[in-house]
């Protein structure tokens, strides 16, 4: 509704399998290869993303990949298969570390990087790999790769002229939702702030095409097309100083996204938590990353570099979360 249909479908949506295809105990831990905890924790969260893991375990991508040289989908496929089929306790994630500068040219081995930034670059590199060989695609078609169909959604920005009530909509693709937590003590409160209308006036007026002049208006973001996997980033680091906001922000095991969508009335849109990435430390320039993930056997594990230990849901829900991963 409101958006142009894709001219091409790059991956058939009915082939995406949301539930684990096989149930097993968790796979290997990941050795720290020198300040690589940011990378290890992100990789573990991606490895336990059911629709992505199902696809990578099928090895369907590498069988048909025509890409010359670096392909992030092939890299992830090799990594996930190695982790989930390994019988020992830990592996060295060289498959990914070796291509660190291909994922983002500013990443350097041995330097502590920001886990959210690494996640963004990794998923973007996977998206580029899925688009390789398909040039000049419209934005709706670009959103039909398997990567975008799993992690991506669309936001609607609706501006309403306060004089003539004319409505102007624009849409933008997203791969995660960054939430401001300065004023919020829970994810649901932060989501309410995210969709709260904002007044445009003074220097910030809006050019209304109907009134043909600068007017006061109201602007509101809503989630217009929901993702299969919702990634939430709690903005814990302050832009200039990098100082950390260490407050407790509550997050639920099950989240209903319906109230924050363009069609706020209707059936609940339920999501279940399956991974939590945690930063411990005082600023983005120091500290340690680890995560909790739900394996295909339905149990939770704390994954801290090479160690993988069972944990209860109560512990999982009491963390100072930085990234939250929910599956539809």
Active site residues: 37, 288
Helix (H, G, I), strand (E, B) or coil at 54: helix
What's the chain's Rg over C-alpha atoms? 21
The tokens describing 278, both together, are 């945690």
**CA–CA distance, 96 with 128 (Å, rounded to integer):** 16
Smallest Cα–Cα separation from 38: which of 104, 134, 112?
112
Q: Are 141 and 8 in contact (CB under 8 A)?
A: yes
The tokens describing 243, both together, are 């100082």
Q: In what order do the strands lie in the sheet with 198-200?
A: 167-174, 153-161, 217-225, 198-200
**CA–CA distance, 152 with 19 (Å, rounded to integer):** 18
Q: What is residue 139's DSSP assignment?
A: H
308 DSSP β-pair partners: 303
280 DSSP β-pair partners: 288
Q: Are 81 and 57 in contact (CB under 8 A)?
A: yes
């Amino acid at each position: 509704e409101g958006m142009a249909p894709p001219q091409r479908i790059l991956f058939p949506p009915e082939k995406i399998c949301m539930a684990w295809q096989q149930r097993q105990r968790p796979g290997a831990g990941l050795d720290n290869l020198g300040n690589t905890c940011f990378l290890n924790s992100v990789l573990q969260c991606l490895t336990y993303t059911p629709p992505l893991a199902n696809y990578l375990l099928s090895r369907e991508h590498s069988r048909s990949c025509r890409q010359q040289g670096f392909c992030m989908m092939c890299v992830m496929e090799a990594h996930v298969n190695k982790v989930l089929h390994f019988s020992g306790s830990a592996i060295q994630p060289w498959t990914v570390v070796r291509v660190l500068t291909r994922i983002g040219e500013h990443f350097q081995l041995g330097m502590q990087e920001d886990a959210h930034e690494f996640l963004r670059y990794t998923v973007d590199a996977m998206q580029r790999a899925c688009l390789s060989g398909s040039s000049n695609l419209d934005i709706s078609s670009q959103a039909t790769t398997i990567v975008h169909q799993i992690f991506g959604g669309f936001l609607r920005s609706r501006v309403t002229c306060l004089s003539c009530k004319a409505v102007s909509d624009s849409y933008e693709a997203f791969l995660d939702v960054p939430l401001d937590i300065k004023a919020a003590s829970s994810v649901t409160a932060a989501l309410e702030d995210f969709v709260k209308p904002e007044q445009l006036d003074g220097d910030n007026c809006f050019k209304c095409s109907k009134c043909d002049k600068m007017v006061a208006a109201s602007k509101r973001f809503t989630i217009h097309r929901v993702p299969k996997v919702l990634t939430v980033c709690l903005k814990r680091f302050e832009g200039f100083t990098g100082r950390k906001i260490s407050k407790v922000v509550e997050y639920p095991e099950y989240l209903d996204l319906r109230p924050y969508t363009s069609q706020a009335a209707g059936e609940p849109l339920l999501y279940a938590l399956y991974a939590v990435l945690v930063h411990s430390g005082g600023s983005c320039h120091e500290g340690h990353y680890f995560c909790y993930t739900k394996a295909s056997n339905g149990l939770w594990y704390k994954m801290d570099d090479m160690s993988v230990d069972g944990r209860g849901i109560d512990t999982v829900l009491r963390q100072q979360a930085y990234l939250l991963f929910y599956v539809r």
